[in-house]
């Protein structure tokens, strides 16, 4: 059963990882191709516009030096009038304004406006000089047309659209992925409960026979307790995926009951101590499921400590006026900070055996069924870990 689960878990996670990497690769290719060809097109248009400005500058130079009474300058005028998109400023000696095309001049502070535009134009394109017959020089400053400027921003707009699309697709796939995960976990949980039902019933019958035969045997009594615990565990698994009932209970006694069970089944070298100054802590719980959370966290702590000596401390206090806080600390090997959230993902485990469902189910039980919160509060490698649980007060 464990191998079957691991195979399903690995298959789901491998497909999810493959889809994530595939999206990153697709986005990278689209971004590169878009930027490359757009940049190439912009460069080509900039070159073409400079050629147009050079033709326009040549027409201006010929028009200034032409004898308008003898020469036909209509074609020169036609060239000048054809420029309807490229902003141009033509300055003469002492920055005197000779001509201005495709620019709306303000009614006030015109000189400052022109000076600012000239500086901007110089940064974008190299000015073109016109040499007149009398030795005077005029300079043409120009900017890219509005179409080229829009095309420069086109890749950004395109990438934003692609990013929105990919995020939407990612969220959709993640929603499907999480839904698939939930179905797998719920299905496996219910199947586990179903498979455990028959042998538990059989063991209960055998213990009844043993108790009738050996009524004062302590081993039979303890065996019966463990079989009852197996029945509770099977019941817990069967409730996964269903909406459990929560009842008003005392949180202190519930934690103490769970810890008492664990104390008898773990090494004496790892004491579990409960600290609280509260006399009572009323909240709504599904006791079997919440007890599972406490037992799972304690068992993980024991596994983290290993065969060495250590301790587990459970502290219960008030977080605020609306919530209780439970801190479960151990002296185990710790959790890397990068794994604080990953440990709650279904299938995550550092053990050679196990399904990696414990903390995932604990998160579901606390946050979905009890409207609380569970997270790794702190951890330091080779020193220990502290889990924190918030539960609403009654």
Residues 6+ apart with CB under 8 A from 337: 379
d(CA 56, CA 214): 113
Average pLDDT, the chain: 83
Indicate if the pLDDT at residue 241 is higher than 70: no
Centre a 10 Å sphere on the Cβ of residue 188 and count the other Cβ atoms it contains.
19
CB-side neighbour CA atoms (13 Å) of 370: 31
Average the pLDDT over each of 10-24, 51-65, 228-242, 253-267 and give the range with the smallest value.
10-24
CA 189 to chain centre: 28
Residues 255-307 have pLDDT tens digits of 999 999 889 888 889 999 999 999 999 999 999 889 989 999 999 999 999 88
Which pLDDT score is estimated for 354? Answer: 55
Q: Which CATH class is domain 243-392?
A: alpha beta
Q: DSSP 3-state assignment of 133?
A: coil
Which pLDDT score is estimated for 342? Answer: 86
Residues across the chain: 394
| Confidence band for 182, pLDDT divided at 50, 70 and 90 | low
The secondary element (H helix, E strand) that includes residue 19 is: helix 2-65
Looking up tokens 């016109």, which residue turns up? 130
Are the CB atoms for 365 and 310 separated by under 8 Å? no
Domain spans of the chain?
Answer: 2-148, 243-392
Q: DSSP 3-state assignment of 245?
A: coil
Are the CB atoms for 368 and 360 separated by under 8 Å? no
Residue 370 has phi, psi (to 5 degrees) of: -115, 5
Which pLDDT score is estimated for 2? Answer: 46
Which pLDDT score is estimated for 169? Answer: 74
Centre a 10 Å sphere on the Cβ of residue 364 and count the other Cβ atoms it contains.
22
The secondary element (H helix, E strand) that includes residue 271 is: none
User: What share of the chain in percent tops pLDDT 90?
Assistant: 34
Query: What sign does the dihedral 361-364-370-375 (CA atoms) show?
Result: positive
d(CA 330, CA 255): 16
Looking up tokens 């004898």, which residue turns up? 67
């Amino acid at each position: 059963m464990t191998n079957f689960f691991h195979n399903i878990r690995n298959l789901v996670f491998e497909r999810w990882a493959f889809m994530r990497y595939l999206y990153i690769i697709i986005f990278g290719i689209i971004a590169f191709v878009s930027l490359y060809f757009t940049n190439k097109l912009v460069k080509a248009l900039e070159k073409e516009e400079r050629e147009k400005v050079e033709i326009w500058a040549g027409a201006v130079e010929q028009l200034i030096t032409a004898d308008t009474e003898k020469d036909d300058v209509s074609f020169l005028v036609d060239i000048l009038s054809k420029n309807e998109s490229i902003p141009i400023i033509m300055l003469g000696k002492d920055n005197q304004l000779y001509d201005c095309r495709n620019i709306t001049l303000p009614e006030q502070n015109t000189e400052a406006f022109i000076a600012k535009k000239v500086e901007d134009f110089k940064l974008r394109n190299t000015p073109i000089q016109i040499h007149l017959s009398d030795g005077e020089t005029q300079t043409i400053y120009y900017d890219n047309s509005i179409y080229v400027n829009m095309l420069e921003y086109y890749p950004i707009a395109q990438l934003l659209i692609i990013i929105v699309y990919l995020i939407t697709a990612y969220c959709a796939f993640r929603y499907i992925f999480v839904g698939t995960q939930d179905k797998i976990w719920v299905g496996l949980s219910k199947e586990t409960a179903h498979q455990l039902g028959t042998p538990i019933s059989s063991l209960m019958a055998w213990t009844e026979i043993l108790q009738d035969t050996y009524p004062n045997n302590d081993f039979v009594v303890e065996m019966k307790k463990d079989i009852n615990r197996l029945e509770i565990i099977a019941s817990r698994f069967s409730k996964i995926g269903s909406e459990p009932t929560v009842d008003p209970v005392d949180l202190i006694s519930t934690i103490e009951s769970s810890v008492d069970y664990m104390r008898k089944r773990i090494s004496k070298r790892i004491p579990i101590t409960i600290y609280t100054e509260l006399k009572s802590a009323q909240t709504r719980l599904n006791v079997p499921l919440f007890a599972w959370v406490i037992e799972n966290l304690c068992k993980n702590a024991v596994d983290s400590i290993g065969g060495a000596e250590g301790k587990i401390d459970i502290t219960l206090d008030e977080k605020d006026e609306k919530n209780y806080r439970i801190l479960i600390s151990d002296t185990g090997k710790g959790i890397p900070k990068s794994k604080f959230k990953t440990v709650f993902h279904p299938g995550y485990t550092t053990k050679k055996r196990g399904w990696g469902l414990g903390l995932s189910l604990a998160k579901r039980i606390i946050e979905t069924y009890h409207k609380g919160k569970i997270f790794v509060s702190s951890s330091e490698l080779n020193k220990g870990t502290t889990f924190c649980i918030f539960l609403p007060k009654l």
